[in-house]
Structure 1
């Protein structure tokens, strides 16, 4: 299967438009922030300014600011609406728009780089991690969480089956997510050391498929595949997808939605 290519323009637009709704619907993402912070707390990151990449509404940044008080904090996000929202929540932080694959900071600027629920949207993990390494000072730490290959597998499997049954000319545009092995390999290739990578599943339950899709839309987590066909999927495909989802994965009155969360901790070497 050819990996999907993410259209960053769509990612920017989707998330920017839903900054006000995000915190009400991003329940899994909130739990991920708590777990990532607990991991960072145990690692005692090195001193120096902190950079939050893809800050979203600033939930992780706010927790980091409380945990590592008196350390300068910089927030950046590809989506301008998210940058503005986060800046409004954290008046003492510097906030700007920035792409994780081309960070606008000088080499060795930060002692810690954190990120939650962002790096799965990037097309080139090795390049993005190389940028992270570049902006960290020697001995600086990286702590990130991103969604892995099992994320929303129920939805993606059902959609692909529905498209295949319909005999559509275009294959399913369901988006793929990185594997745990790919994350580790990209960190190693970028030059990080003391790499720790693990994953855990978070499961949400929704009344039905339309409720799940509405929830995803409210946080901006819509499909951003560059080869997504113009317009919406046919009503027949969407109805069949919902039927297959309920049939294969659903229970009495609800359906599960699985998120595989990959946690990664690493350090920039003291000596290049």
Structure 2
């Protein structure tokens, strides 16, 4: 993953992100629900990749007065979230190199972020480092199977048109890979599972505009240069509609992987 590209994409779309982030908001709501099922312990919490601060706002509504630090790789996103969360400290931070002391937090939460990192076990280990013993880790990321309709239509379009065999569509980790990364990072009480969220769009251009609006362009360091050929895009749109359209709408499936775990070595008291 080209981290500079990720940073630029999200910084440039900070103002319009919330207009398009329908699935991301559902994911944030679900993650806060999962966190709340076991309570939030004492001590400060860290939101990694806060974006516009939606996850942080939802958590603070559930846990008023929580000492919360928000962080994002994108300076534009950090500033946007900070303006909406005046009572929270805000820091620019890379999930793979967090600028915090070891053992600083009792809870680390993150939604729709870790699919962008290059080294998932390393990023999870960095999360473990900044957690206190007994601290909790709760995250959601987009996994393998996300945008499966778009990927399949693009694959078929490439095959039919003789286009380049390298896809412009982003690849994401699978559930088994995520579980291994959590174990490699040293977490215990690991629970990881996947759920699908399906978004409906008028047509493929509408879906592509939505993806652009949230900054979710392909940031792979191995992505093909330039835009896909027009003939490939045109055929991909036609195939997408032919194979998946129902009642004048097309679906876009997101495979969401949720992870919950603890850092060994202590037991934080449960709170409300």
**Shared fold, TM over 0.5:** yes
Alignment of 1:123-162 (within 5 A): 123-162=118-157
The one of 161, 168, 183 aligned to 2:163: 168
- Native 8 Å contact 1:174 1:225 kept in 2: no
Matched position secondary structure for 2:135: strand
> How many pairs are equivalent?
266
Aligned runs of 1:1-272 on 2, under 5 Å?
A: 6-169=1-164, 171-270=166-265
Q: Provide the residue aligned with 1:3 in structure 2.
A: none
User: Can you list the C-alpha shifts for 1:175-228, whole angstroms capped at 9, x where unaligned?
Assistant: 111111111110011110111111111101111110100011111111112222
Deviation of 1:83 after TM superposition, in Å, equals 0.4
Structure 2: any 5+ residue segments left out of the alignment? 267-272
- 1:35-68 deviation per Cα after TM superposition (whole angstroms, max 9, x unaligned): 1111000111321100000000000111222222
3-state SS of the aligned residue for 1:200?
Answer: strand
How far apart, CA to CA, are the structure 1 residues paired with 2:81 and 2:148?
30
- In 2: Cα distance, 1:170 partner to 1:153 partner: 17
> Which stretch shows the higher mean deviation, 161-170 or 71-80?
161-170
- Contact 1:55–1:76 (8 Å) recurs in 2: yes
Measured in 2, the distance between the counterparts of 1:168 and 1:36 equals 40
CA RMSD of aligned residues (A): 1.2
Q: Is the 8 A contact 1:170 1:229 kept in 2?
A: no
TM-score, normalisation: structure 2: 0.95
Spell out, residue by residue over 1:129-153, the C-alpha distance to the aligned partner (whole angstroms, 9 max, x if none): 0000000000000110111111001
Q: Is the 8 A contact 1:205 1:257 kept in 2?
A: yes
Moved segments of 4+, more than 6 Å: none
Shift of 1:169: 4.2
Question: How far apart, CA to CA, are the structure 2 residues paired with 1:16 and 1:66?
Answer: 26
- Secondary structure of 1:257 counterpart: strand
5+ long unaligned stretches in structure 1: 1-5
Distance 2:83 2:197 in 1: 29
Does structure 1 retain, via aligned residues, the 8 Å contact 2:100–2:130?
Answer: yes
